[in-house]
Amino acid sequence: MTKSRNKNNNKAKIGFTYLLVFLLLLFFFYAIRMILLHRLPPDNSRIPLTALEEKIPIPPRPGVQGIIITGPVIKDLIFQIDTKTSQLRKLDWRRIESIDKTADVKIRATVLRNGSLEFNPITDVISPGHSYAGNEIAKVVETWKYTHYKHGRIYFWFNFPSSGVKLTIDTHELVRNEDLSKKYFVRNGLLFYINGLPLSCVNQAGRVFVGE
């Protein structure tokens, strides 16, 4: 008697387990269905009660009197330090700052049409009382080369004691090279190659007054 009761209990348990599994599967099935329905675009998941008048725009039409074929995008040219130059040297700001904290160096240089910088280290580097810093900076700056999109006068002011802008670059005398096609716009990019100087301390659109 107990055996048959046990057997019945077991059967009920198995049956109950099966039912539970079945219900769980059914639940998963509907859950997946709901997720798939939600992922469909609204038009495909719902049948509207009223037919909405679809406003389809008139598609583009071909012209017979001529064609304008879309061409490539004209990328702006960037006047900036040409990092592909092999002799390019980075100025170590912190090293010079550690040697001479109050260094005030101005450089008056010329950007040639090929992008290289030209200046006289004696007459074009103005650093009264800070000759060491002036020499060090001049040695590095003369290796800088720019992309060949502009030429003209460029001025640098390395102002170490300043609490705000420490480097000012004056580019207002630069002009675009004549051999460039008029379709290109030339923008200024990064005009210095310095390690240890935050960008917020640099003003590339400033004015530098250097005595002649």
Partner 1 sequence: MAFKKQNELHDLEFPSLIDVIFLLLIFFLVTMQFSITTDTAHQTSTKPPDIQLPLAEGSENVAMDDIISTLLFQIQYKEKNNPNSPRLVYVLEPFNGDSISRGEAFMIAKRDSLFAEFPQNFLKMKDQEFKNTTACRLISNAIFQYKAEHFHKPSIENTVEIRAEANVEFKIINYIMQECSAYKDTIPRVIFRTLAKTRG
Partner 2 sequence: MAFRTKENSFRKVQLVSLIDMIFILLVFFMVTVTVVRLTIKEQKLPVPTPISERGRAQIVIQLLNNGNFLWLDDHATAQISKVMDTIEKNYSYLSPSELNRKKTEEALSILLKKNIFRKDQMEGKLKHLLKIADSDPSSHYFVLLRSPDEIPYYEIINIMQKLNSAKYQNVLYGCVGGRLDDIKNSQNVKVVIEKDKNGRRRENLQIDF
Residue 57 touches partner 2, criterion: CB under 8 A: no
**Smallest distance, partner 2 to C-beta of residue 145, A:** 25
Q: Looking at residue 200, what DSSP letter applies?
A: G
Residue 42 touches partner 2, criterion: CB under 8 A: no
Member of 9, 10, 11, 101 binding partner 1 (CB under 8 A)? 11
Member of 2, 4, 44, 123 binding partner 1 (CB under 8 A)? 44
Neighbouring C-alpha atoms within 13 Å toward the C-beta of 198: 5
Instruction: Tell me how far the alpha carbon of residue 66 is from its chain's centroid.
Output: 40
Residue 73 touches partner 2, criterion: CB under 8 A: yes
> Which residues share a beta bridge with 13?
none
d(CA 81, CA 144): 7
Residue 15 touches partner 1, criterion: CB under 8 A: yes
d(CA 198, CA 202): 7
d(CA 66, CA 28): 60
Determine the interface stretch with partner 2 among 64-72, 90-98, 140-148, 193-201 (rule: CB under 8 A): 64-72
Member of 13, 33, 89, 172 binding partner 1 (CB under 8 A)? 33
The angle formed by the CA atoms of residues 83, 178 and 183, to the nearest 5 degrees, is 85
Member of 20, 25, 31, 199 binding partner 1 (CB under 8 A)? 25
CB 167 within 8 A of CB 158: yes
* Closer CB to partner 2, 22 or 132, in the complex: 22
Element (H, E) at 150: strand 150-159
Q: Which residues bind partner 1 (CB under 8 A)?
A: 11, 14-15, 18, 22, 25-26, 29, 33, 36-37, 40, 44-45, 56-59, 61
Q: Which residues bind partner 2 (CB under 8 A)?
A: 58-74, 179, 181, 183, 185
